[in-house]
Amino acid sequence: MTQQPAKKLEKDGILLIEKPRDLTSFGVVSRLRRLIGERKIGHTGTLDPFAEGLLAVCVGQATRVVQFMDTYDKSYRVRILFGQATDTMDLTGTIIESRSFLPGELKALQDSDFQVIREAVAALVGPSMQMPPMYSAVKIDGQPLYKLAREGQTIDRQSRPITIYLADIDQIDCRPEHDQVEPYLALDLTLKVSKGTYIRVIADELGRHLGWFAHAISLERLTVGPFSRDHAISLDQLDLLFDQQLERNLAQNQVWQTLINQGLVYTMDDALADMPTLNVPMYLALRLAQGQNVVLHAGDLTTFAQTSFTPEFDLRLAVRCSVGLLGVIRLTLPSELTDLPVSPPYGYRLMPERIFLSHERLLPE
């Protein structure tokens, strides 16, 4: 009897990877493609090569939620070194400005319990505008800024709104000058920030505000939306699983199956856990999947709400039905009322942003 080929192992889900220092986020994706044998992989939220910590990676069909995970708040731990500013705003750059600490300056700072630093950190919290650094992946006319920066160019950039939700001082490392020892001042911060916030810029601006200059010398990402670094797996651990098999395809399948068995493969539902959720009947799910106009009043939204929320225009919601996660929609103005002054009694249109299920899966058998 001819042996049937093994059924292809479907690889769909979200992995939490511990990105090591000195590896790019794209480098992580490249290694994962080799280790699990899946080409369709995308990461959420680029980490600088000098940074480490949580990189959420979407595999297979789960790449559909990358666009929504990119909008999530994130938290970081950063060490900021005072006394020097660099062109990259981190330790990989060239020093462009510096200031030596005056005799007795750090001792006086220490005696005051670092009051000026504590006040400056407290003032970080809240909304503000931030200009992306030249050494960043932001594109201008299709060109990443960092490529232009390496060519010596400086391009006008638009400042963007950001919010710093939390700025906690973990440690102030202060070593006043004595016995020929160079003075040293560094600050360890834990920050929770909105999407698109550059921690390096915060370090640079904090140093300039205090008059000492500064740059980031270490950076760790702790959380991305509902996901935590505590549950991340390292690439070295995956390498070890891969090397235990002699045959490449078996090794790739074994790595994936082990991740599933250990509960390390997360679902799209997990990725959208912090998003308000509707649980709609099948007839509405089918209409949404087919792109039909669906308008619901606030009371209907409350009836279908799986999690509590206050309806408002432009609010993004996850939508479920009896088959599973249908997709993500946004509450908008009903199309027939676009020329009228509208208030919530007129209802909200459920505008699909991304539908994950085909309408064929929603049809009765």
Which phi and psi (to 5°) does residue 267 adopt? -100, 170
Could you say which of 3.40.50, 3.30.70, 3.30.1820, 3.40.1000 is the CATH number of the domain covering 13-71+227-267? 3.30.70
- Domain coordinates of the chain in residue numbers? 13-71+227-267, 74-224, 275-362
Reduced to 3 states, what is the DSSP secondary structure of residue 56?
strand
Q: CB under 8 Å to 19, separation ≥6 — which residues? A: 25, 28, 47, 51, 52, 53, 54, 55, 221
**DSSP assignment, residue 276?**
-
Architecture of domain 74-224: 2-Layer Sandwich (3.30)
Task: Give the model confidence (pLDDT) of 186-195 as tens digits.
Answer: 999 999 999 9
pLDDT at 281: 93
276 residue type, one letter:
P
pLDDT at 152: 72
pLDDT at 1: 42
Residue 71 gets the label, from left (phi > 0), alpha (psi -120 to 50) or beta, of: alpha
pLDDT at 243: 77
| 48 flagged as catalytic | yes
Beta strands in 259-309 (DSSP E): 277-279, 295-296
**DSSP assignment, residue 181?**
B
Ranges under pLDDT 50 in the chain: 1-6, 338-343
The active-site residue, picked from 12, 48, 168, 188, is 48
pLDDT at 140: 67
CB atoms closer than 10 angstroms to residue 75: 19
Instruction: Tell me the CATH number for domain 275-362.
Output: 2.30.130.10
